[in-house]
Amino acid sequence: MARIPVASPADLVPARLRDRVTTAGRLAADVAALDDAGLGTLPAPVALAPLLPRGGVERGRVYACGGDAPLSLLWTLVAPATREGSWLVLLDMDHAGLLAAHENGVALERTVCVSSGEGPGRDERRLRVLGTLLDGFDVVVAEAPACADAEARRLVSRARAAGAVLVFTGAPGVFAVDVSLRARTRSWDFDLHARARTVEVRATGRRVHGSPMCVLQMPAADASRHH
C-alpha cells in the first residue's frame, strides 16, 4: 500500500508566513539562547509576574511605570532584582526618595544616583548619559528624554545589545515600550501617617497580550524585611 505523506504543522503554513510562526520547541530554544547570551530575565515580584511576558523583568527590554503611583510601582518592580545582585542606576531622579525605595525593598547598596547636569541641552546630555549607563548597569531608570524617533530607536537597540533593562517613569514619549505598567490607587492604610496603599496595576505594551491586571499592596508588608 502506498504511504501518504503527512504534512507537519509548519508545512501547512504558507511559505511567506513560516518565519513568523513559533512552535513550542522553537520558543523554548529561543528562550534558552537568550539566557545563554545573558538576555534572560531578572526576578520580579510575585504579584506582578502574571503581567510580565516571561514572568520576570526581561533584559534588553523597555518598561514604563505610570499612573498615580509611578515611583512606588517602580520600586516594587525592580526591588527583587536588586536584592538578587543586580545594579540599579537612577538618572536625574533627585525627587525619587531613597527612603521610599528602601521601604519598598530596594537594595540601596546596589543603587547609584547620577545627574546629567542642569541648563540648556539637558535632553541631549541625558540621551548620551543614558547610552553610557546602559553599558554598565543592569537596570537604568530615568524620565524619557525628548528626542527624535531615530535617536529613541538607537537607544532601545543599545539597551538590547547590552542586555540592560531601561525603565521610564511617567510618559515614555516617542520610545516604543515593551511593557507599560500603570497604577491606580484603590485605598490607603493609615495610622498616624500613610503606611501603605492598595493599588490596581494594569499592563499594556508591545509584548503584552490583552490588558492584564493585578491588585497589590505597596509597599508589601514584608518588603523592608528582606534587608
153: part of which helix (H) or strand (E)? Answer: helix 149-162
Q: 141 by DSSP, 3-state: which?
A: strand
Q: 68 by DSSP, 3-state: which?
A: coil
Q: How many CA atoms lie within 13 A of 26 on its CB side?
A: 7
- What are residue 157's phi and psi, to 5 degrees? -65, -35
Cα dihedral sign, 160-162-167-171: negative
- Predicted local distance difference test score (pLDDT) of residue 225: 54
**94 grid coordinates:** 533627585
The answer to pTM > 0.85 is no
Cell 505594551 sits at which residue? 205
- Predicted local distance difference test score (pLDDT) of residue 3: 45
Ordered structural domains, the chain, with CATH: 41-226 (3.40.50.300)
Work out the number of other CB atoms within 10 angstroms of the CB of residue 97.
Answer: 14
From first to last of the 227 residues of the chain, give the pLDDT tens digit. 444 443 433 443 344 334 434 444 444 444 444 444 446 999 999 999 999 999 999 999 999 999 999 999 999 999 999 999 999 999 999 888 899 999 999 999 999 999 998 888 888 999 999 999 999 999 999 999 999 999 999 999 999 999 999 999 999 999 999 999 999 999 887 666 667 889 999 999 999 998 899 999 988 765 555 55
Per-residue buried b or exposed e for 5-37, using 16+ beta carbons within 10 Å of the residue's own CB: eeeeeeeeeeeeeeeeeeeeeeeeeeeeebeee
